[in-house]
Amino acid sequence: MKKRKVLIVEDDADLRRLYAIGLNQRGYVVRLAANGAEALVRMQEEKPDVVLLDLVMPVMSGWDVLDRLEPEDRECIPIVVISGHPQNQDPPHHDCVARWLSKPISLQELVSAIEGALPAAQRRHRIQASFAS
């Protein structure tokens, strides 16, 4: 079975490291980005299966990442938002957000969100591939 690739976008180095260690131990392939600008580059290079995205970061915020995603990435890569701010709305133009988690979160919550986000993205990708055939 293919290992799932997770891109962690978090400006807090300690949290980034903590998430990475926990997810690696559970069999995920982990890639890291410290801000939104790095995230966009990594998404193009790595094509992750899911992105864990903090919203408030220097250089480029998570909101800016969502606004700048390529259309194909919006359709195929589920985003799990991890924020210190509670979800006060689900912006309609950010339909690529599969889950919204409020910090602090446990590793089990993180894994559950990743696993919950993946099936929907896989179904969308299979449907798109069948239309392309």
Structure confidence at residue 124 (pLDDT): 46
In CATH terms, 5-132 corresponds, of 1.10.10.60, 3.40.50.2300, 1.10.760.10, 3.40.640.10, to 3.40.50.2300
Strand blocks (E) in the chain: 5-9, 29-33, 50-54, 79-83, 97-102
Domain ranges, ordered by start, for the chain? 5-132
Residue 7 and residue 9: Cα distance in Å, rounded?
Answer: 6
Angle, CA 94 vertex, CA 97 and CA 38 arms, to 5°: 75
In tens digits, the chain (133 residues) has pLDDT values of 578 999 999 999 999 999 999 999 999 999 999 999 999 999 889 889 999 998 888 888 887 888 887 666 666 788 888 887 665 555 544 667 888 888 889 999 999 999 998 875 554 444 344 344 4
Structure confidence at residue 39 (pLDDT): 93
Structure confidence at residue 72 (pLDDT): 63
Closest CA to 60 of 38, 77, 90, 82: 38
Structure confidence at residue 13 (pLDDT): 95
Structure confidence at residue 121 (pLDDT): 53
The CA distances from residue 58 to 4, 29, 83, 99, in Å, are 27, 25, 14, 22
